[in-house]
Amino acid sequence: MTSPIIDASGIVKDYGAVRALHGVSLQIGTGEFVALVGPSGCGKTTLLKILAGFEDPTGGRLEIQGRDMHGVPAASRPTRMVFQKLALFPHKTVAENIGFSLKLQKVEKAEAERRIRAMLDLMHLKPDYLERYPAQLSGGEQQRVALARALVSQPGVLLLDEPMSALDAKLKKSLQAELKKLHRELGTSFVLVTHDLEEAMMLADRICVMRSGHVVQVGTPTDIYYRPANMFVAGFIGETNFLPVTATASGEGMDVVSPLVAAGKTTIAPEHVSPSLSTNGTALLVRPETIRFVRGDAAPGEWLLDGQVEEHFIKGASTQYRIRIHGLDAAVIMDLPGSIVLPAIVGEAVRIGFDPAQAFLLSE
């Protein structure tokens, strides 16, 4: 990580008897894009508000740009926040909305106008929008104005609380692409709260997964997807298959056997083993895209499972299969590229296989 612009350590937040954050520590690098994800109520928005200065922490320490933020009001921090629900001033024009913070800072008029126009340009909004009112803009345009208003004062950190959740799917995609480009061009640190895990994977340099007021894992999208700390993180991002196994430490990693795989014994390399592995409910995480139908010979080392096709779902670019395996609680999910020719039909007896060396060993 580059030098941290945000250094939060042991942040606790109580709302009366409710402890929303239980000592959260997180560092965010200068120019980094971090996404905060986790189930509803896990404390994402609370953490964002503490960074912004809209809430005071009950305990812990927050530094931004090396400065202790205790008692520093929101307006004096190098942070700006964009909310899910649009907080544009309805009776101010687009120009007045964008220029609001510049007016407070008493930026000279010609300079303010120049910066407002530059923002409009950056957000791909037409110059004649300047005199419009928010109600005369589409939802996506309003959200761009909200971004422009937050960015015009050139904050070190942009805090985004689900800014795209109210937009339709197509608009969301285009604004996501713009947000990523904007982030690259500006060099500002972005912290995004989102429910949309695909969005977090697409946009963020690192993802912070939270649960019940704790940080469970912070890592790159690849880390979070392929090397999740535990079953909670694995199940939170993407579709999962957990194959029950017993694991014993061996010289080179972990020796793993599965009661479901007749000839199954393999050694899992240390980089495919969760550092927080416990003896509780050890399982092999097998992602759906790593499983194939086996018609002829198995590949060397491949683990095989016999079952029956329970259902398939055409997703366009891919087809998802659910395979019922005898002795396994949940159906195994497979994702195969393409959907023009379907390789198996519902009810068909099938053999599926995967390379256990590509799987990941974790626990509850």
Residues that bind ligand ATP (CB under 6 A): 15, 18, 20, 38, 40-46
Strands 303-314 and 349-354, bridge-based pairing? antiparallel
What is the Cα–Cα distance from 126 to 144, expressed in whole angstroms? 12
Question: Strand, coil or helix: what is 334?
Answer: strand
Give the closest residue to 145 by CA, choosing from 175, 168, 190, 170.
Answer: 175
Least distance to ligand ATP, CB of residue 297, Å: 48
State which residue, 15 or 313, has the beta carbon closest to ligand ATP.
Answer: 15
Nearer to ligand ATP, 15 or 89 (CB): 15
Q: Which is nearer to ligand ATP, 39 or 127 (CB)?
A: 39
- Smaller CB distance to ligand ATP: residue 36 or 243? 36
The number of residues making up the chain comes to 364
Q: Which is nearer to ligand ATP, 161 or 302 (CB)?
A: 161
* Residue 139 DSSP class: H
Nearer to ligand ATP, 167 or 273 (CB): 167
Q: Structure tokens of 145?
A: 């104005």
Query: Closest separation between CB of residue 348 and ligand ATP, Å?
Result: 41
C-beta of 16 vs 275, nearer to ligand ATP? 16
Least distance in angstroms from the C-beta of 221 to ligand ATP: 19
* Closest distance of CB 10 from ligand ATP, Å: 17
Tell me how far, at minimum, the Cβ of 20 lies from ligand ATP, in Å.
Answer: 3
H/E stretch holding 235 reads: helix 231-236
DSSP string, 165-208: TTS-HHHHHHHHHHHHHHHHHH--EEEEE-S-HHHHHHH-SEEE
Between CA 60 and CA 43 the distance in angstroms is 15
- Supply the DSSP string of 45-113, one letter for each residue: HHHHHHHHTSS--SEEEEEETTEE-TT--GGGSSEEEE-SS----TTS-HHHHHTHHHHHTT--HHHHH
Greatest extent of the chain over all pairs of C-alpha atoms, in Å: 77
In the complex, minimum distance from the CB of residue 43 to ligand ATP, in angstroms, rounded to a whole number: 4
Q: Minimum Å distance from CB 134 to ligand ATP?
A: 24
Query: Cβ 247 to ligand ATP, closest distance in Å?
Result: 33
**Closer Cβ to ligand ATP, 57 or 99, answer by number:** 57
Q: How far is the CB of 35 from ligand ATP (least distance, A)?
A: 13
Per the CB < 8 A criterion, the answer to whether 213 and 44 are in contact is: no
Q: For residues 16 and 316, which CB has a smaller minimum distance to ligand ATP in the complex?
A: 16
CA 228, 233, 236, 240 torsion-angle sign: positive
Residue 292 — left, alpha, or beta (φ > 0 → left; ψ -120 to 50 → alpha)?
beta
CA angle 13, 218, 176 (to 5 degrees): 95
